[in-house]
């Protein structure tokens, strides 16, 4: 694989660190997000399970003597390992036998059924979740504000984003798929549409070998797109699908939804449950998200001009863009991303919490008009948290589509998405 045009990824360092201590590393994520390129950039030998010239012989070998497929200079990349799930146990056994770190890299764009492997891989495999490119990775954020610095208390920020609203609309519709970066605008937008068509017509059925109706898959994806970045219930999404497709049962709906989750297209955001000073009930419903907002615009057949005309929907898509990027940045800082909402409807669009207990609250506002209200909400949330049980927030942040990064007099930070990095 040619490595000369490789765009560095934030998880490159994470992969190197994992290989230094573990025998094998599993990189999971949606198809086309760059797993093979990232792994191939460091691998010294490669097995492509989807190679059309050799796929059948590879499958036969996996069924008879899988250890032969593991021969090659380490680290050896086994691309799309789930096509022959027996390779998981073969790799685990080989790692035990060799007793050395950095032996194998497995990549997978689908989660196999729970019962296809005999062992979990605990102690032998490190796992890395890979998502489409953040704006910093695609070189559209200048990275003048670092999430790691914010957690370290460095709040005297400044920066100017080079992204206009029109450019943000385009990046939403193009998505963060590496193959689209740098392509002519029309080509990049077309590639995102083709990606979604492949999900609907092929990938959703391949995950479990059960043929699925493309029309139903399209309706489900369109409903998820319409409800993106909201706490819509599963019943709400089902009702939306049933408004057009009246014959779908909840069981069938769940099969389709689970298939999208297993191919990493759906990535809902869980609710955050902190200790509060009062007995306020916390909403526990997840926020509906797709792994990239371009999936939503592609299935809705919405181009940048269309979402600019629907500013309310643009706002939800912008939040989805920020969620994608924040997940990438948080992962590098050993953190996870949640959302918060209580019964009084006080909310934070995102909570980034690190494994060491530090956390920060984030509101997402596309424009400038709602910044005052967002800052007040964040300060109210800060007062509700029981700091005897958990730490004070490391920062309160408003992510915007504007130009300037600065610290307000009340301590709340305002950062354009075009200035943020990990």
Q: Which residues contact 409 (CB under 8 A, 6 or more apart)?
A: none
Share above pLDDT 70 across residues of the chain, in percent, rounded to a whole number: 96
How far is Cα of residue 79 from the mean position of the Cα atoms in its chain? 20
**Looking at residue 368, what is its pLDDT?**
81
- Order of all β-strands in the sheet with 395-400: 159-160, 404-407, 413-416, 395-400, 359-365, 347-354, 335-341
The string of DSSP letters for 157-205 reads --EE----HHHHHHHHHH-S-GGGTTS-HHHHHHHHHHHHHHIIIIIHH
Mean pLDDT of 24-48: 96
Please write the tens of the pLDDT for every residue from 350-406. 999 999 999 999 999 998 889 999 999 999 999 999 988 899 999 999 999 999 999
φ, ψ of residue 332 in degrees (nearest 5): -65, -25
Q: What is the pLDDT of residues 256-269, one digit of tens each?
A: 999 999 999 999 99
CA 22 to centroid of chain Cα atoms = 24
**Which residues are registered as beta bridge partners of 359?**
353
Pairwise CA distance, residues 123 & 305, whole Å: 50
Average pLDDT over residues 312-333: 98
Q: Is the backbone peptide bond immediately before 30 cis, with ω within 30 degrees of 0?
A: no
Mean pLDDT, the chain, integer: 93
Question: Is 126 in contact with 25 (CB distance < 8 Å)?
Answer: yes
* Model pLDDT, residue 1: 43
Tokens found for residue 115:
């019962």
Distance of CA 179 to the CA centre of its chain: 17
Residue 169 has pLDDT above 60, yes or no: yes
Mean pLDDT of 236-242: 92
Q: State whether residue 139 is helix, strand or coil.
A: coil
Q: How many CB atoms lie within 10 A of CB 342?
A: 16
- The pLDDT, as a whole number, for residue 207 is 85
Q: Is 383 exposed, middle or buried (0-12, 13-18, 19+ CB in 10 A)?
A: exposed
Burial class (CB in 10 A: 0-12, 13-18, 19+), 30: buried
pLDDT tens profile 72-127 = 999 999 999 999 999 999 999 999 999 999 999 999 998 876 545 555 566 789 99
- Report the C-alpha gap between 200 and 155 in whole angstroms: 44
| Alpha-carbon distance values, 63 to 56, 125, 351, 398, 411 (Å) | 11, 22, 45, 53, 61
pLDDT of residue 117: 55
Q: What DSSP element (H or E) covers 328?
A: helix 311-332
User: 56-60, 278-282, 318-322: which has the highest mean pLDDT?
Assistant: 318-322
> d(Cα 259, Cα 210) in Å, to the nearest integer?
10
What is the tens place of the pLDDT at every residue in 153-162?
Answer: 999 999 999 9
Residue 420 predicted with pLDDT over 70? yes
SS3 for 121? coil
CA within 13 Å, CB half, 377: 22
Which residue ranges does the chain devote to CATH 3.40.50.300? 11-130
Tell me what the mean pLDDT of segment 198-217 comes to.
Answer: 91
CATH of domain 11-130: 3.40.50.300
Q: What is the pLDDT of residue 174?
A: 98
- Find, among 374, 394, 381, the residue nearest to 340 by Cα: 381
The per-residue pLDDT for 2 is 42
Q: Is the dihedral of CA 343, 347, 350, 356 positive or negative?
A: negative
Q: Report the distance separating Cα 298 and Cα 307, nearest Å.
A: 12
pLDDT tier for residue 277 given thresholds of 50, 70 and 90? confident
What phi and psi, each to the nearest 5 degrees, are found at residue 264?
Answer: 65, 25
Listed residue (333, 328, 410) closest to 377, CA to CA = 410
Question: How far out from the chain centre does Cα 212 lie?
Answer: 24
Q: Is a pLDDT exceeding 90 seen at residue 340?
A: yes
Is the omega angle on the peptide bond into residue 75 within 30 degrees of 0, that is, cis? yes
From the CA atom positions of the chain, what is the Rg in Å?
A: 22
The pLDDT tens digits for 292-309 are: 999 999 999 999 999 999
pTM, entire model: 0.95
Tell me: pLDDT of 280 over 90: no
What pLDDT is stored for residue 68 in this prediction? 96
pLDDT of residue 97: 96
> pLDDT value at position 81?
95
């Amino acid at each position: 694989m040619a490595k000369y045009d490789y765009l560095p990824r934030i998880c490159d360092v994470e992969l190197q660190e994992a290989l230094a201590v573990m025998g094998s590393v599993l990189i999971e994520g949606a198809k086309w997000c760059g797993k093979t390129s990232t792994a191939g950039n460091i691998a010294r030998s490669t097995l492509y399970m989807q190679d059309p010239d050799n796929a059948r012989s590879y499958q036969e070998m996996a069924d008879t003597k899988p250890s032969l497929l593991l021969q090659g200079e380490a680290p050896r990349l086994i691309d799309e390992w789930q096509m022959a799930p027996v390779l998981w146990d073969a790799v685990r056994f080989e790692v035990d036998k060799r007793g050395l770190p950095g032996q194998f890299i497995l990549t997978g764009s689908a989660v196999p059924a729970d019962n296809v492997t005999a062992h979990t891989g605990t102690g032998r495999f490190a796992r890395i979740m890979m998502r489409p490119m953040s704006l910093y990775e695609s070189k559209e954020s200048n990275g003048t504000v670092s999430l790691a610095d914010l957690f370290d208390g460095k709040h005297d920020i400044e920066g100017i984003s080079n992204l206009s609203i029109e450019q943000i609309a385009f990046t939403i519709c193009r998505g963060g798929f590496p193959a689209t970066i740098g392509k002519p605008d029309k080509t990049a937008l077309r590639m995102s549409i083709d990606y979604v068509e492949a999900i609907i017509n092929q990938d959703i059925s391949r995950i479990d070998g059960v043929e699925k109706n493309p029309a139903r898959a399209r309706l489900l994806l369109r409903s998820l797109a319409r409800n993106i970045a909201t706490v819509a219930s599963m019943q709400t999404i089902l009702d939306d699908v049933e408004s057009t497709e009246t014959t779908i049962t909840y069981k069938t709906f769940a099969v389709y939804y689970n298939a999208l989750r297993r191919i990493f297209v759906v990535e809902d955001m869980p609710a955050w449950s902190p200790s509060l000073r009062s007995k306020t009930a916390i909403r526990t419903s997840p926020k509906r998200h797709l792994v990239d907002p371009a999936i939503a615009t592609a299935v809705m057949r919405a181009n940048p001009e269309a979402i600019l005309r629907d500013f309310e929907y643009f706002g939800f898509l912008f939040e989805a863009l920020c969620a994608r990027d924040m997940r990438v940045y948080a992962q590098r800082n050993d953190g996870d991303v949640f959302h918060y909402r209580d019964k009084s409807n006080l909310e934070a669009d995102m909570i980034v919490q690190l494994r060491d207990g530090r956390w920060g609250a984030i509101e997402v506002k596309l424009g400038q008009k709602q910044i005052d209200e967002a800052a007040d909400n964040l300060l109210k949330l800060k007062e509700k948290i029981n700091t005897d049980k958990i730490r004070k927030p490391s920062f309160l942040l408003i992510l915007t589509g504007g130009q300037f990064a600065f610290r307000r007099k009340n301590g709340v930070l305002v950062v354009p998405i075009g200035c943020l990095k990990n």
